[in-house]
């Protein structure tokens, strides 16, 4: 307005205190929200923050100031005040690992905020925070498995194929191969429920039976249904609830000597996902650096005695495919190292290779030599995944996860087969062994 002079007013001393109080309240609310999220989802939430900070640092790798700022954020410490015990402290170190441990120091400025937040946290969430124990704790993976449920492993987007009992068996297995999966739940349309799991073993047994039994003809094999293949061998339908812990899943898989476990919805009985040891190990490996690293991870598999090093079943490259099928059934193995005349490991023949060959129309010629199968199949270019006795358990785990295989062949310096280490061997040592040992120690304690 004309004739009106606008002047800036300088506040008197102490007059800005209400504004400071509002800022403090705002910061306090932000802290409450921040730590409530940290307490509720300590691993997942901090892992996301860690990834975002890592991406920010990569974008500004040449900017020393921004990089230093990111490192400062990484080393920010969080104190949780517990009324009846010492404080819990968590931070991220230079190697991007979430460190959660105990600290008896007290953070006065944050203790009241965190006490309120901690009061709202359920005990099971607090136990997840306590996942980080001392550096020599062998139970850290056991605690991780107990803290996570089967539905945590189910991917956001995945394929689940369900086979009807009356579907043609050859078409069913061809569908599995086309989709790149090894097993599918079997659906009984009359009773309307999932009653089993169709695997590669069912097809291999049927294939071997028709080929080695003179009175059976392959025309009958073409007319076989999923019902015929599934009920060839009687076995219980082993499944697990989606709400069960991963610890229960590992025990079920290893105790029953199976590789795949259907995850079902307890309320409806619907199949949700097929859980495998490979999927569990991958999930564990993704969170490996968010946990304490047990000392046994750095020891060699020979020192830990992980794997099989005696009576290794191999097959010559000029052996017939039907011989491999016989070994799969009789010796109950899922893969065979392929060696040449010098004993050097040149490949590995799996059940999936046999099924893939049969699906391509070669199931009537099972006397074909294995090397011919590989030569005729897609110009076979895959690499064999191997390790050595001197490799650490961590290295073996990493190779298994990155290559997405169920077993590694242990070779010597001349590439001759020295042993085999499977995912069952790995998970038995890092999870089941400490779990059982801890149970024995608990039972041996005298009653007070």
- Residue 28's pLDDT is 66
Domains 163-290 and 296-434 agree in fold = yes
Three-state secondary structure of 175-229 = HHHHHCCCEEEEEECCCCEEEEEEEHHHHHHHHHHHHHCCCCCHHHHHCCEHHHH
β-strands 87-92, 98-103: how paired? antiparallel
Residue 220 confidence (pLDDT) = 72
**Rounded CA gap, 90 and 38, in Å?**
10
With a CB cutoff of 8 Å and minimum separation 6, the contacts of 88 are 79, 80, 82, 100, 101, 102, 103, 129, 130
Instruction: Provide the pLDDT for residue 88.
Output: 37
CA atoms within 13 A on the CB side of 214: 0
Evaluate whether 104 touches 86 at the Cβ level (below 8 Å): yes
pLDDT, tens digit (0-9, with 9 covering 90-100), for 63-96:
444 333 333 333 333 333 333 333 333 433 444 4
Question: Tokens in use for 189?
Answer: 């349309």
Of the CATH numbers 3.40.50.720, 3.10.580.10, 3.90.226.10, 3.40.50.1980, which one belongs to the domain with range 163-290? 3.10.580.10
Per-residue pLDDT of the chain (448 residues; tens, 9 = 90+): 444 444 444 555 545 555 666 776 766 666 555 555 544 444 455 556 556 665 655 554 444 443 333 333 333 333 333 333 333 334 334 444 444 433 333 333 334 444 444 444 444 444 444 444 444 478 889 999 999 999 999 888 777 889 999 998 888 888 888 888 889 999 988 888 888 999 988 888 888 888 888 777 666 777 888 888 888 777 889 999 999 999 999 999 999 999 999 999 888 888 999 999 999 999 999 888 878 888 899 999 999 999 999 989 999 999 998 999 999 999 989 999 999 999 999 999 998 888 777 766 666 678 888 887 776 554 445 678 999 999 999 999 999 999 999 999 999 999 999 999 999 999 999 999 998 887 765 555 555 4
Q: Taking the domain 296-434, which CATH number applies? A: 3.10.580.10
**Residue 55 · residue 79 · CB < 8 Å:** no
- First and final C-alpha spacing in the chain: 88
- What's the chain's Rg over C-alpha atoms? 29
Please state, in angstroms and as integers, the Cα–Cα distance from residue 25 to each residue in 31, 79, 238, following that order.
10, 19, 55
Distance CA 60, CA 62 (A): 5
- Predicted pLDDT of residue 239: 94
Q: What is the DSSP letter of 357?
A: H
What six digits make up the tokens of 43?
Answer: 């691993």
Give the predicted TM-score (pTM) of the model: 0.68
Domains of the chain, residue spans:
163-290, 296-434
Q: Work out whether the CA dihedral 327, 333, 334, 337 comes out positive or negative.
A: negative
- Residue 40: predicted pLDDT: 47
């Amino acid at each position: 307005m004309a004739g009106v002079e606008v002047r800036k007013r300088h506040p008197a001393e102490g007059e800005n205190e209400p504004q400071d109080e509002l800022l403090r309240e705002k910061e306090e609310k932000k802290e409450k929200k921040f730590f409530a999220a940290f307490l509720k989802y300590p691993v997942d939430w901090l892992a996301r923050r860690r990834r975002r900070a890592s991406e920010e640092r990569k974008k500004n790798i040449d900017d020393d100031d921004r990089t230093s700022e990111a490192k400062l954020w990484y080393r920010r410490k969080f104190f949780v005040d517990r009324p009846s015990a010492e404080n819990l402290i968590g931070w991220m170190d230079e190697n991007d690992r979430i460190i959660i441990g105990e600290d008896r120091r007290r953070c006065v400025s944050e203790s009241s905020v965190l006490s309120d937040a901690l009061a709202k946290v359920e005990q099971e969430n607090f136990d997840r925070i306590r996942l980080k124990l001392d550096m020599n704790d062998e139970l850290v993976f056991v605690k991780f498995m107990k803290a996570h449920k089967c539905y945590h492993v189910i991917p956001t987007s995945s394929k689940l194929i369900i086979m009807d009992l009356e579907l043609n068996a050859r078409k069913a297995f061809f569908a599995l191969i086309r989709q790149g999966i090894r097993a599918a739940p079997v659906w009984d349309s009359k009773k309307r429920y999932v009653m089993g799991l169709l695997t590669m073993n069912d097809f291999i047994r049927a294939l071997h039976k028709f080929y080695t039994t003179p009175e059976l003809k392959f025309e009958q094999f073409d007319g076989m249904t999923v019902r015929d293949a599934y009920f060839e061998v009687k076995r219980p339908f082993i499944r697990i609830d989606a709400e069960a812990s991963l610890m229960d899943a590992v025990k079920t898989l290893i105790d029953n000597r199976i590789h795949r476990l259907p995850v079902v919805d307890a309320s409806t009985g619907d199949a949700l996902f097929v859980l495998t040891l490979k999927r569990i190990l991958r999930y564990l490996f993704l969170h490996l650096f968010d946990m304490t690293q047990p000392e046994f991870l750095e020891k060699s598999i020979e020192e830990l005695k992980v794997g099989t090093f005696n009576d290794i079943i191999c097959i010559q490259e000029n052996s017939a495919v039907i011989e491999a099928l016989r070994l799969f059934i009789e010796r109950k193995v899922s893969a065979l190292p392929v060696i040449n005349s010098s004993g050097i490991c040149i490949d590995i023949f799996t059940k999936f290779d046999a099924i893939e060959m049969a699906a391509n129309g070669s199931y009537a010629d099972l006397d074909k030599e294995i090397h011919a199968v590989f030569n005729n199949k897609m110009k076979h270019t895959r690499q064999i995944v191997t390790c050595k006795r001197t490799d650490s358990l961590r290295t073996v785990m990493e190779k298994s996860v990155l290559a997405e295989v169920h077993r590694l062949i242990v070779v010597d310096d001349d590439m001759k087969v020295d042993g085999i280490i499977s995912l069952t061997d790995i998970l038995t040592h890092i999870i089941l062994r400490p779990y059982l040992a801890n149970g024995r120690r608990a039972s041996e304690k005298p009653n007070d």
